[in-house]
Amino acid sequence: MAQGVSQRNMTPPSNQFQTHSSEETTDLGRQLAAELKPGSVVLLRGDLGAGKTTLVKGIAEGFSAAEAEAVTSPTFTLIHEYSGPEVTLYHIDLYRIDTQRELDTLALDDLMEPNTILLIEWGEKFERFAKERDFEIAIEHHGADERQITFLRKT
Ligand SMILES: Nc1ncnc2c1ncn2[C@@H]1O[C@H](COP(=O)(O)OP(=O)(O)OP(=O)(O)O)[C@@H](O)[C@H]1O
Ligand SMILES: [Mg+2]
C-alpha cells in the first residue's frame, strides 16, 4: 500500500484486487463505480504510472459519463469533466500543484455538489484531502503489468 496518509476512519483493506493488464484495471473501475456515491471525494493513490488514470477510464464508463478512450490524463489541464445522466465526474490531477495558493485557484469547492464526484490524483499532498476523502483507491505496482488495488471507504 502507498504510504504516507494514515488510514484512520477508513475500512480495513478487505477490498483488495489484483489486475494483470490495463484492461483489467479499467474493468475494475467499471465495477467500483457502483460503490461510489454522488457527492463524494475519491482519492486515487499510487506512484507515477501506477494506473490511476486507467482506473478512471472504467469509472467514467461505469457512470456512462465517457468512453474509456475519451478519458485522458489531466496532467496539464488539471481538471477534466465527464457528465453522465446522473453524475458529473471531475478528474483532477494535483501532481503539479504545490502550494495552497495554487490549489485555491482551482476552486475545487465550487465543484462539490450533491451530484458530482471528485476523482483526485495526488490529492494526498494536501492535508485537507487526506482528511476529507470519502473513498480511497490505492494502486501498487506488483511486477510489470500486475497491480494490487485497495478500495477503502470512510466509516
Ligand atoms: N494492471 C495494470 N493496470 C493499470 N495500468 C497498467 C497495468 N498494467 C500496465 N499498465 C500500464 O501502466 C500505465 C498506467 O498509466 P496511468 O496513466 O493510468 O497511471 P497514473 O497512475 O495515472 O500515473 P500518473 O501519476 O503519471 O498520472 C499505462 O501505460 C498502462 O497501460
Ligand atoms: Mg494519471
Identify the pLDDT of residue 105: 96
Identify the pLDDT of residue 143: 87
Identify the pLDDT of residue 130: 86
CA 123, chain centre distance (Å): 9
Distance 121 CA to ligand 2 centre (A): 6
Domains of the chain, residue spans: 29-144
Identify the pLDDT of residue 2: 40
Identify the pLDDT of residue 155: 83
Share above pLDDT 70 across residues of the chain, in percent, rounded to a whole number: 91
β strands within 28-145, DSSP E:
40-45, 79-83, 88-93, 116-121, 135-141
Q: Mean of the pLDDT values across residues 144-149?
A: 96
127 pLDDT higher than 70? yes
42 pLDDT higher than 50? yes
The CATH number given to 29-144 is 3.40.50.300
The conformation of residue 54, written as its DSSP 8-state character, comes to H
CB count within 10 Å of CB 131 equals 11
Pairing of strands 147-153, 15-19: antiparallel
SS3 98: coil
User: Which own/partner contact pairs does 17-20 have at CB distance under 8 Å and 24+ positions apart?
Assistant: 17/148, 17/149, 17/150, 17/151, 18/142, 18/146, 18/147, 18/148, 18/149, 19/51, 19/146, 19/147, 19/149, 20/145, 20/146
Return the best residue to mutate from 20, 22, 59 for the ligand 1 pocket (most ligand atoms within 8 A of CB): 22
Share above pLDDT 90 across residues of the chain, in percent, rounded to a whole number: 87
pLDDT averaged over the chain? Answer: 92
- The string of pLDDT tens digits covering residues 4-18 is 344 556 665 569 999
Q: What is the dihedral of CA 26, 30, 36, 39, to 10 degrees?
A: 90
- The string of pLDDT tens digits covering residues 45-68 is 999 999 999 999 999 999 999 999
Q: Mean of the pLDDT values across residues 25-33?
A: 97
Phi, psi angle pair for 39, to nearest 5°: 80, 20
Task: Establish whether residue 26 lines the binding site of ligand 1, counting it when its CB lies within 6 angstroms of any ligand atom.
Answer: no
- The string of pLDDT tens digits covering residues 77-110 is 999 999 999 999 999 999 999 999 999 999 999 9
Identify the pLDDT of residue 8: 58
Angle at 62 between CA 58 and CA 64, to 5 degrees: 115
Work out whether the CA dihedral 81, 116, 59, 106 comes out positive or negative: positive
Distance 110 CA to ligand 1 centre (A): 29
